[in-house]
Amino acid sequence: MAISKVVKDVGAACAGIEDGMTLMLGGFGLCGIPECSIAELVRLGVKDLTCISNNAGVDDFGLGLLLQERQIRKMISSYVGENDEFERQMLSGELEVDLIPQGSLAERCRAGGAGIPAFFTPAGYGTEVAEGKEVREFNGKPHILETALTADFAFVKAWKGDTAGNLIFKATARNFNPMMAMAGKITIAEVEELVPLGILDPNSIHTPGIYVQRIFQGSHYDKRIEQRTVRTQTASND
């Protein structure tokens, strides 16, 4: 019989998180972010964190909440253009920032989960990204060496999960979540719907429960749109 990974709430899920730890947080923009877990990290007041995330949320949501409380020491990210507080802290030198090409960030997380210590990629060659990194030529093209990323804790958000930690992500939320779930020493999954073992179709599972140590059902998810763009309506010629 499979061992249940279910914990009673987000507080139990976040037990053991301490100052100075490295955390991975899934999501793309505001889609598929572990917002219940982030809120708990704010409540706990842990600080000097290194956060690995594709983006930094917005000023009043997602990782922006941790930035407001000065809980993050370093961000390892790809796209951070929607957060004014992030920009202020980075330019003032309060926040250490490592910007990584998006594909390289995803592969560094996946490599960490797969036990691959490093890999070569052409992305970033000839830019600041390549400074201080080994360069080798493959098929006549220069590549830079990128090292794998892992974390003390990885936080992911799934659409559905079962008691054994098997996860299904919905649409765009299947972004950085699956590879980050692989790369955390302890992976915490929050889900919109928690079901008994055997309910999920095995062929539909995106992350096997072997990668998940703790799972809980979240609540009150705020389905935000990061940027709302509407088309100006023109008069009909009919």
Lookup result for tokens 């036990």:
115
The whole-number pLDDT of residue 224 equals: 63
The whole-number pLDDT of residue 221 equals: 74
The whole-number pLDDT of residue 1 equals: 62
Write the single-letter amino acid at 52: I
Q: Which domains, and CATH codes, for the chain?
A: 10-116+148-217 (3.40.1080.10)
- Reported as a single tens digit per residue, the pLDDT across 175-203 is 999 999 999 999 999 999 999 999 999 99
The whole-number pLDDT of residue 31 equals: 87
The whole-number pLDDT of residue 226 equals: 61
Query: How many residues are there in the chain?
Result: 238
The whole-number pLDDT of residue 58 equals: 85
The whole-number pLDDT of residue 238 equals: 53
Residues whose CB is less than 8 angstroms from the CB of residue 187 and which lie 6 or more positions away in sequence, other chains included: 153, 154, 155, 156, 180, 181, 211, 212, 213, 214
The whole-number pLDDT of residue 231 equals: 80
pTM of the model: 0.90
Q: Which residues of the chain have pLDDT under 50?
A: none
Rounded CA separation 161/164 (Å): 8
CA–CA distance from 152 to each of 51, 211, 233 (Å)?
A: 10, 13, 50
